[in-house]
Amino acid sequence: MGKDIWKPGTVLYPVPAVMVSCGTMEGEKNIITIAWAGTINTAPAMTYISVRPERYSYEMIKKTGEFVINLTTESLVRACDYCGVKSGRDIDKFKDLKLTSAKASKVSAPIIYESPVNIECRVKDIIPLGTHHMFLAEVVAVSVSNEFMDKTGKFHFNNTKPVCYSHGEYFGLGNKLGKFGFSVQKKR
């Protein structure tokens, strides 16, 4: 087995494929698909998204200082792809996809009601990094669909059938391989 050397690039895959809603309930709003999103910090809860400045959603997020990360599932993967290839300059994605824009609890940007997890965010900083600008944001609220909660109040994330994105393709998550700490757990 050998190794080929490639030019520097972003080949950290798979990544989450999320739909980010922005704008306001009363005015202009949009959905942009983002694959460059992630966790930054636990306390305070912080996340980021990276967006090209020429994207239609960029100015909305910059102006309002808010957005919502809506997690994508197998049932939403077509909408996720559509929101990544169509521009909100030309169409109303909520209307075209028959997605429900619902009022968020803490931010002015709408949530996508059909998404099982909505992460409401307030921008703390915008870092220009070249082709993309990174919006560093504090998570101010999270809403989850109660259909995935059990009697004890535990949310069963995997039952939502989340998807990821890997080098131009969408995938479901597949089989559970272990849980945190299983490699050092004593066998009974």
Residue whose structure tokens are 């600008």: 133
Query: What pTM was estimated for this model as a whole?
Result: 0.94
Task: Please provide residue 81's backbone torsions phi and psi, each rounded to the nearest 5 degrees.
Answer: -65, -45
Could you tell me if residue 50 is inside a domain? yes
Tens digit of pLDDT for each residue in 77-132?
999 999 999 999 999 999 999 999 999 999 999 999 999 999 999 999 999 999 99
pLDDT at 44 over 90: yes
pLDDT at 58 over 80: yes
Could you tell me if residue 140 is inside a domain? yes
**Domain tally for the chain?**
1
For residue 39, give the CATH number of its domain: 2.30.110.10
Tens digit of pLDDT for each residue in 145-186?
999 999 999 999 999 999 999 999 999 988 888 888 988 988
Could you tell me if residue 10 is inside a domain? no
Domain span at residue 108 reads 15-172
Could you tell me if residue 178 is inside a domain? no
What end-to-end distance do the CA atoms of the chain give, in Å?
38
Could you tell me if residue 58 is inside a domain? yes
Could you tell me if residue 183 is inside a domain? no
Could you tell me if residue 47 is inside a domain? yes
pLDDT at 36 over 80: yes
pLDDT at 188 over 80: no
- Number of Cα atoms under 13 Å in the Cβ half of residue 47: 22
Could you tell me if residue 184 is inside a domain? no
**Mean pLDDT value across residues 56-60:** 97
